[in-house]
Chain A
């Protein structure tokens, strides 16, 4: 296991100043800082709800005080690799809803795309503004060694967590002003401005003025509601629910106290299936009837564009390196994790024989649910899971259990290494922009590899050192 702070008892360069500071401060000061940070979080009300678990819908996500640190050299590679991926994924989305060249070229099987649940026939042939489908790409990255980064998955729909990136930094700057003064840490606070710029740049064809932008949320009961309201507030735009919007003739309006006000760009945090009951799920009460007609005729821009989900499917994921070669003519800068597709007979055989060593996931699952972590499972669990795979092999992929890197983390017994992953947020509009930072998630339980906040994972601030 690669410990990002120290190798063979040698403190790695980016962590040296932090370790010196921690040693000089002593455990009592650190403990006090930890308590202060928790109080701040509670006061600000940053919460994360977990579906289906009952209990407090406004639970706090555990925040770990010790930052995760990257050198500028490490970041340059991540920056280039993430932007490259975001470009290729958008090129792929445009392609599959138009001429499908990548399928004609025999690089991706047609079934995988056209019979995919996330493929949206309703948007075939539509040209979204700037031909961009996924305006915010969250790329989940893990590390296994000093130079070894792997992309675990892409999130092309509405990746969440960026509010933690911003709030974690806010709290860290309040807690450790000295460290920020003496170290050169890249700032992240420009993210909301960059997001606003991106959203403005994708104004629809018919918009003839400064676009009116809104954030569309399913409502206060949604687990990421805090983030929705936070982003709307930071950008200075309205946070709306479906009931606040309506379609009149060929435009979308919101209900205001002065009467209807036209809306041009919708940053939606609602799934495709719910955004328009006339086009998708007829029982949706979250959406806006008629929205898709307005979208088709260039009266409104939707971010992310409906149909973007087909690019972040776990089966499509395995082809992203091919997309990069096909559309950009470049070699991938960031590697995929080697993946076995259970839909292929040879791969299926291998997976069933090596269940104890692999991580098996549902192709369409998310949030760390419904997966089998081989080394942490019992024989019975493996046998039960094998039955599920055999019933529908095409629904599963498997990957080797990576030795995820670990970062020092506050736990009950003191400071100990815990496994981490990383999600930077790439913005795509008139330009491709990436804030130097992202969300580091940490598995708080010893040995655990599951970092999802829905399963007890925590978060850390991520520092990119500047040159």
Chain B
């Protein structure tokens, strides 16, 4: 396979996943903002969302940090590299650059999503009915993954698509958790009260994991368990452990398929072991934020190492 094709497949799925995760971040901000204010001047949900999105640097410092402005920035701003509309534009541009490497169903899922998103009516929907808009974005991600799952050949191209998905998802789950733990309630005195618990369940909701969590842990919303669910639990589809497991598996498939191993294989196994061998007490005592920062760094390096091993450049 051409390296450029691998690059396009990898980034195509990263952008789709990113669009969906931007929507999830906003869902979290939206729900948190529905909570009564506990402390004056502590209504910084949208600021937190912005900073967790990793795009705060591009936000107009004079613009208010309200839902309407922040959401518009995260959804439609063309100068924001990771805005949802840009994610779909880039995903489709990557797809178009190697049309024949993906199936017609995958192309249609992407193409239709972008065409709809470009319609002016979507601006109104996002402005007036943000939750509906968020559902729409999540549905587009699901459509694309469904089309991929049911139509594409299980060859090396599939591995690059899946690697892109899980590298991006791991990064985003880490960001979601970081918003909650570090940005929203920096003062430790407030950790553990009612608002705190509500916010933790909001993190779960944003990860579409509230019901799954119930099944696994019943009703104990301790931060400890919620963090466990999203970090170490290998059965949770958005947990870091699950993402790392998938990444390791797909790299392993590539190694078998090509008969070649690279340093990226060792790096992936290391990252996976870090998650299978840690426990939450250790992570909390070392600092959740520090743990998440370290993880995001490893994940970034892993992404670069994949590009290196398979001779593509990264976007």
For B3, give the chain A residue with the smallest CB separation.
A255
Chain A interface residue count, Cβ-Cβ cutoff 8 angstroms = 19
Answer whether residue B99 sits at the interface, using C-beta atoms and an 8 A cutoff. Answer: yes
Answer whether residue A254 sits at the interface, using C-beta atoms and an 8 A cutoff. Answer: yes
Supposing A45-B107, A258-B260 touch, asked if A243 and B4 sit within 8 A by C-beta, the answer is: yes
- Tell me the residues in window 272-315 of chain B with beta carbons closer than 8 Å to chain A beta carbons: 310-312
Answer whether residue A414 sits at the interface, using C-beta atoms and an 8 A cutoff. Answer: no
- Tell me the residues in window 213-246 of chain A with beta carbons closer than 8 Å to chain B beta carbons: 219-220, 229, 232-233, 238-241, 243-244
Distance to closest chain B CB from A212 (angstroms): 12
A244 touching B2, Cβ below 8 Å? yes
B2 touching A254, Cβ below 8 Å? yes
Summarize A's interface: helix, strand, loop or mixed: mixed
Residues on the A chain within 8 Å of B312, using CB: 255, 257
Summarize B's interface: helix, strand, loop or mixed: helix
Supposing A45-B107, A259-B311 touch, asked if A241 and B4 sit within 8 A by C-beta, the answer is: yes
The answer for the CA separation of A369 and B93 in the assembled complex, in Å, is 30
Contact of B97 among A219, A233, A254, A256 (CB under 8 A): A219
Q: Mark A79-102, 1 if CB is under 8 A from B, else 0.
A: 000000000000000000000000
Residue of A45, A219, A257, A259 with most chain B CB atoms under a 10 A cut-off: A257
The answer for the CA separation of A257 and B7 in the assembled complex, in Å, is 9
A258 touching B258, Cβ below 8 Å? yes
Contact of B96 among A220, A240, A255, A258 (CB under 8 A): A220
The answer for the CA separation of A6 and B194 in the assembled complex, in Å, is 86
For B95, give the chain A residue with the smallest CB separation.
A220
Residues on the A chain within 8 Å of B100, using CB: 229, 232-233, 239
Residues on the B chain within 8 Å of A255, using CB: 2-4, 311-312
Answer whether residue B1 sits at the interface, using C-beta atoms and an 8 A cutoff. Answer: yes
The answer for the CA separation of A325 and B150 in the assembled complex, in Å, is 60
The answer for the CA separation of A45 and B100 in the assembled complex, in Å, is 12
B98 touching A239, Cβ below 8 Å? yes
The answer for the CA separation of A241 and B4 in the assembled complex, in Å, is 9
Distance to closest chain B CB from A40 (angstroms): 12
A257 touching B96, Cβ below 8 Å? no
The answer for the CA separation of A240 and B6 in the assembled complex, in Å, is 13
For B93, give the chain A residue with the smallest CB separation.
A220
Distance to closest chain B CB from A373 (angstroms): 36
Answer whether residue B69 sits at the interface, using C-beta atoms and an 8 A cutoff. Answer: no
Give the A-B contact count at a CB cut-off of 8 A.
48
For A257, give the chain B residue with the smallest CB separation.
B310
The answer for the CA separation of A238 and B4 in the assembled complex, in Å, is 11
Answer whether residue B196 sits at the interface, using C-beta atoms and an 8 A cutoff. Answer: no
The answer for the CA separation of A233 and B98 in the assembled complex, in Å, is 10
Q: Mark B100-132, 1 if CB is under 8 A from A, else 0.
A: 100000011001000000000000000000000
Supposing A220-B93, A244-B2 touch, asked if A257 and B99 sit within 8 A by C-beta, the answer is: no
Answer whether residue B156 sits at the interface, using C-beta atoms and an 8 A cutoff. Answer: yes
Distance to closest chain A CB from B114 (angstroms): 11
A229 touching B99, Cβ below 8 Å? yes
The answer for the CA separation of A219 and B99 in the assembled complex, in Å, is 12
The answer for the CA separation of A256 and B311 in the assembled complex, in Å, is 7
Contact of A240 among B2, B99, B160, B311 (CB under 8 A): B2
For A214, give the chain B residue with the smallest CB separation.
B2
Residues on the A chain within 8 Å of B6, using CB: 257
The answer for the CA separation of A45 and B92 in the assembled complex, in Å, is 13
For A234, give the chain B residue with the smallest CB separation.
B100
B93 touching A257, Cβ below 8 Å? no
Residues on the A chain within 8 Å of B1, using CB: 256-258
Residues on the A chain within 8 Å of B254, using CB: 257
Residues on the A chain within 8 Å of B96, using CB: 220
**Contacts beyond the supplied A43-B108, A256-B2: 10 A-B pairs with Cβ under 8 Å:** A238-B2, A244-B2, A244-B3, A254-B2, A255-B2, A257-B1, A257-B3, A257-B160, A257-B258, A259-B311
Q: Name B's A-contacting residues (CB within 8 A).
A: 1-4, 6, 93, 96-100, 107-108, 111, 156, 160, 254, 258, 260, 310-312
Could you pull out 22 A-B pairs where Cβ atoms are within 8 angstroms? Answer: A43-B108, A45-B107, A45-B111, A220-B97, A229-B99, A229-B100, A232-B100, A238-B2, A239-B98, A239-B100, A240-B2, A255-B3, A255-B312, A256-B1, A256-B2, A256-B3, A257-B2, A257-B3, A257-B160, A257-B310, A257-B311, A258-B1
Q: Name A's B-contacting residues (CB within 8 A).
A: 43, 45, 219-220, 229, 232-233, 238-241, 243-244, 254-259
* 8 nearest A-B residue pairs (beta carbon): A257-B310, A233-B100, A255-B3, A220-B97, A257-B6, A257-B1, A220-B96, A229-B99
